[in-house]
Amino acid sequence: MTGGSGAARDAIASPAGEGPLLRSWSLWAPDPDESRSMPATAKRTQPTPAGSANRRGAAGATPFHGPRSSTSEVVPVLRAIGRAIRAMELPAIEKLQEDNAATPFRTLVSTMLSAQTRDPVTYEASMRLFARADSPAALATLPAKTIERLIYPVSFYRNKARHLKETARDILDRFGGVTPTTMEELLTLKGVGRKTANLVLIVAHESPDNICVDTHVHRIANRLGWVRTRTPEQTERALYEVAPRRWWKDVNLYLVTWGQQVCRPVYPRCGACVVAGACPRIGVTREGRV
Ligand code: SF4
């Protein structure tokens, strides 16, 4: 795959404007396959400057689920990461969008496939499936075994095949074949949690009102000291407070790309990181080679 330069990347330099906050705080059911707790090594009480000997983390940190940074600290970091990822590979969902291979239904399907699956696997599985069925009507009539075969080797492919078939049927029966456009409706679909719903709203429906938090966003926001949270759901809540609204839709694209290429789960490449000077590296115990 090659890196892209289309709409998703253009948004890096041109974040959307301000607007009304539209959110239902009662819809915080985590994704069954997506929600992960923050490792114990990522807990500490006080952020410290980059390079500090105290950056390794502190035992017995007080639980804290709110934002830790001000928006004035977050925006320059997002801006720098946005510039740095322009030459990098897009995540699978944005790549499908950029390759004109996406419709709202396709984006929903690919996002469901992507949970705990590497991007190249998600992309190839999506394209195999879409070659056979890329509408709710076509997918609902496909045998589950056929879906399994087409999406293998994505993780949990048997469960995902069942969820995809049920979701396609649900969209036909309850939404007239149209992929839902609200968090409330999306969360009623089998196998769809907040991460999937947020990404569909951002990527497929161009919503500026959502932040999509996956394990990359959760990990990096904690390492940077923007939040101190245990779960992606807590991180999402905290990020709405600490990130200006015009950046919300970009947070996932930026931090997922950064998390895949630089701020990796293990051995982050801090020596090659453009925001190292602003990062307290909370919970980072070992750094990778540049
Ligand atoms: S790579 Fe290192 S310096 Fe950069 S954001 Fe991640 S933890 Fe911070």
- CATH number, domain with residue 131: 1.10.340.30
CA of 117 to the centre of ligand 1 (A): 23
Residue 210 pLDDT exceeds 70: yes
Percent of the chain residues topping a pLDDT of 90:
70
Q: Is 262 in the pocket of ligand 1 (CB under 6 A)?
A: yes
Same domain? 136 vs 194: yes
Residue 132 pLDDT exceeds 60: yes
CA dist., res. 155 & res. 9, Å (int): 28
Q: Is 282 in the pocket of ligand 1 (CB under 6 A)?
A: no
- Please tell me whether the overall predicted TM-score, pTM, comes out greater than 0.85 for this model: no
Same domain? 220 vs 275: yes
Same domain? 274 vs 135: no
200-217 average pLDDT score: 96
Q: Is 223 in the pocket of ligand 1 (CB under 6 A)?
A: yes
Same domain? 134 vs 174: yes
Instruction: Please indicate, yes or no, if residue 35 is contained in any of the structural domains.
Output: no
Which carries the bigger pLDDT value, residue 281 or residue 89? Answer: 281
Instruction: Please indicate, yes or no, if residue 55 is contained in any of the structural domains.
Output: no
DSSP secondary structure letter of residue 33? T
Residue 14 pLDDT exceeds 90: no
Domain with residue 271: its CATH number is: 1.10.1670.10
- Looking from the CA of 73 toward its CB, the CA atoms found within 13 Å total 18
CA dist., res. 278 & res. 222, Å (int): 13
Same domain? 212 vs 160: no
Same domain? 185 vs 115: yes
Residue 290 pLDDT exceeds 80: no
DSSP string, 145-203: HHHHHHHTTSTTHHHHHHHHHHHHHHHHHHHTT----SHHHHTTSTT--HHHHHHIIII
Number of residues in the chain: 290
Q: How many helices (H) and strands (E) does the chain have?
A: 13, 0
Same domain? 141 vs 189: yes
pLDDT band at 71 (very low <50, low <70, confident <90, very high): confident
DSSP string, 233-265: HHHHHHHHHHS-GGGHHHHHHHHHHHHHHTS-S
Domain boundary at 178, 203, 228, which? 203
Q: Is 276 in the pocket of ligand 1 (CB under 6 A)?
A: yes
Instruction: Please indicate, yes or no, if residue 5 is contained in any of the structural domains.
Output: no
Residue 236 pLDDT exceeds 50: yes
Same domain? 190 vs 127: yes
Residue 45 pLDDT exceeds 50: no
Pocket test for ligand 1, best of 223, 286, 289 (most atoms within 8 A of CB): 223
Instruction: Please indicate, yes or no, if residue 24 is contained in any of the structural domains.
Output: no
Residue 77 pLDDT exceeds 50: yes
CA of 239 to the centre of ligand 1 (A): 18
Instruction: Please indicate, yes or no, if residue 2 is contained in any of the structural domains.
Output: no
Mean pLDDT of the chain: 82
Which carries the bigger pLDDT value, residue 3 or residue 249? Answer: 249
Domain boundary at 174, 203, 232, which? 203
Instruction: Please indicate, yes or no, if residue 42 is contained in any of the structural domains.
Output: no
pLDDT at 217: 98
123-134 average pLDDT score: 96
pLDDT digits (tens, 9 = 90+) for 54-67: 343 333 333 456 66
Amino acid at the residue 198: N
259-287 average pLDDT score: 96
**Lowest-confidence segment of 23-37, 97-111, 163-177, 258-272 by average pLDDT:** 23-37
111-129 average pLDDT score: 95
Same domain? 164 vs 220: no
CA of 272 to the centre of ligand 1 (A): 9
Same domain? 242 vs 273: yes
Yes or no: say if 253 and 94 are a contact pair by the CB < 8 Å rule. Answer: yes
Q: Residue 277 is part of which domain span?
A: 64-88+208-290
Instruction: Please indicate, yes or no, if residue 54 is contained in any of the structural domains.
Output: no
CA dist., res. 280 & res. 178, Å (int): 45
Q: Is 74 in the pocket of ligand 1 (CB under 6 A)?
A: no
pLDDT at 65: 64
Instruction: Please indicate, yes or no, if residue 59 is contained in any of the structural domains.
Output: no
Domain boundary at 143, 177, 203, which? 203
CB contact burial 87-110 (16+ within 10 A = b; e otherwise): eebbbbbbbbbbeebbbbbbbbbb
pLDDT at 237: 96
Same domain? 111 vs 167: yes
DSSP secondary structure letter of residue 204? I
Question: For the chain, what is the domain count?
Answer: 2
Radius of gyration from C-alpha coordinates of the chain: 19
- Looking from the CA of 169 toward its CB, the CA atoms found within 13 Å total 12
pLDDT at 64: 56
pLDDT at 27: 55
Same domain? 128 vs 71: no
CA of 224 to the centre of ligand 1 (A): 7
End-to-end alpha-carbon separation of the chain, Å?
23
pLDDT at 26: 46
Yes or no: say if 135 and 106 are a contact pair by the CB < 8 Å rule. Answer: no
* Residue 67 dihedral angles phi and psi, to the nearest 5°: -70, 150
Residue 51 pLDDT exceeds 70: no
Yes or no: say if 239 and 213 are a contact pair by the CB < 8 Å rule. Answer: yes
